[in-house]
Amino acid sequence: MKFQIELSEQKARPALSIRTRTAVEKLPQVIGQAYGEIMGYMAELGEQPADAPYTAYYNLDMRDLDVEMGFPVVKPLPAKGEIKSGEVPRGKYVSCMYKGAYGQMEEPYNEMFKWIEENGYEQKGVYYEFYYNSPNEVPESELLTKIVMALK
């Protein structure tokens, strides 16, 4: 196995997020816009993110992705417009830290799917990607993304 896959039990974590549908080609703009709106709202509230920003994928249909972009926060914060107050749910998760280009993430995903099956787990079909840096800060080969899959 090329990637280190970890199983963990997580507590619910409050978050501010925007959920929408988009095609994969438009995803970078949609993510950037959502993060900008949420960060602007957090600045209004005088709050900071509690962890790296994430995108949750509720399906893997590249023509019509159901995605939620958000930031974990320290405590529940009020919603505003399309920015919703929610959470990254508690539960059992499998995760893997991936270093490299976003377009090359099929390999760690496939290894994780295989690990889940081989270890007798079942996935819920929700996939989180936590982004620890951005293409604006580092070369693609240095991008750090934590892939997290919810388990039943």
pLDDT in tens, 58-78: 998 999 999 999 999 999 999
pLDDT at 136: 87
Categorize the per-residue pLDDT at 19 as very low, low, confident or very high, splitting at 50, 70 and 90: very high
Confidence band of 2 (pLDDT split at 50, 70, 90): confident
**Number of domains into which the chain is organized:** 1
Give the span between the Cα atoms of 64 and 18, in whole angstroms. Answer: 16
Residue 149: pLDDT band by 50, 70, 90 thresholds? Answer: very high
- Tokens standing for residue 1: 């196995």
Give the domain range for residue 60.
Answer: 5-151
Provide DSSP, 99-133: ES-GGGTHHHHHHHHHHHHHTT--EEEEEEEEESS
Instruction: Let me know if 12 is exposed, middle or buried by CB neighbors in 10 A (0-12, 13-18, 19+).
Output: exposed
Report how far residue 152's alpha carbon sits from residue 40's, in angstroms, rounded to the nearest whole number.
35
CATH number, domain at 51?
A: 3.20.80.10
Residue 1 has pLDDT above 70, yes or no: no
For 27-62, the pLDDT digits (tens) are 999 999 999 999 999 999 999 999 999 999 999 899
Report the distance separating Cα 108 and Cα 115, nearest Å.
10
